[in-house]
Amino acid sequence: MIANGQVHAEKVGGRWLVEVASLPHGPRVPGRPMSPRIAWALILHGDNPADAGWLRPDEAYRLRKRIETLSDDPDPAVRLQAWLANRADTYHLHAQDVPAVLKDERLVPSGISDPRSQMSAARRGEGYTRTDALEDLTLDHLLVPATPARSNFTLHVTAIMPMRPVPEVLLAADLADRGGPRETIRSGEVFQEWLTHQVGLR
């Protein structure tokens, strides 16, 4: 949880000092996170998982059924966030020029950097890049590792790139992972918009 930024902590004198406010609250959501390939089928093809092209027919069917259960879930946003936990490797970095990184064609803005988030984050950035572009992107923009509390750029790295703008469900998951009150509220709203769209397609 520390490594992927869900809990803020710093190692001092060989011991981890954990920021109490960043610890998760409430009961754990039942069920395990989806594998990256299943998660990306949901992200990119939630309306019809069979269109993903990399799922077997039985996998597509089961995913469709799982999505359908969300309309009866008392807290679908929390469940979706748990399902998508393995969607990417997340790096907390420091960027000298955040706007320049966000304009790079190798990066797709998401989370707080997506206008639909309704967040004012001029000095912070967030986005997705492909695994094979990570090294060049970090070198070209002098991105250096930082603790979650001190970083100003959250970089999600994955073999499957989202389109521009990112799908609503991915935007919502990124906002939810930040854990702040404003991000959490907006995440729930975006998740609900996505879920309403899925239900309307049935």
CA gap 148, 94 in Å, rounded? 10
pLDDT at 11: 82
pLDDT at 31: 61
Task: Point out which residues pair with 94 in neighbouring strands.
Answer: 144
Question: CA angle, 179 as apex, 173 and 185 as ends, to 5°?
Answer: 70
Question: CA angle, 74 as apex, 183 and 40 as ends, to 5°?
Answer: 60
pTM across the whole model: 0.82
**Strand order through the sheet with 144-145:** 108-109, 125-130, 153-158, 89-94, 144-145
Q: Mean pLDDT, consecutive 10-residue segments, the chain of 202 residues?
A: 76 82 61 90 93 95 90 83 94 96 97 93 92 97 92 96 95 91 91 81 51
Q: Write the single-letter amino acid at 175.
A: L
> Which tokens belong to 99?
């706007």
Question: CA angle, 200 as apex, 196 and 201 as ends, to 5°?
Answer: 125
pLDDT at 50: 92
CA gap 114, 120 in Å, rounded? 10
pLDDT at 181: 87
State whether residue 137 is helix, strand or coil: helix
15-28 pLDDT tens trace = 888 877 677 665 55
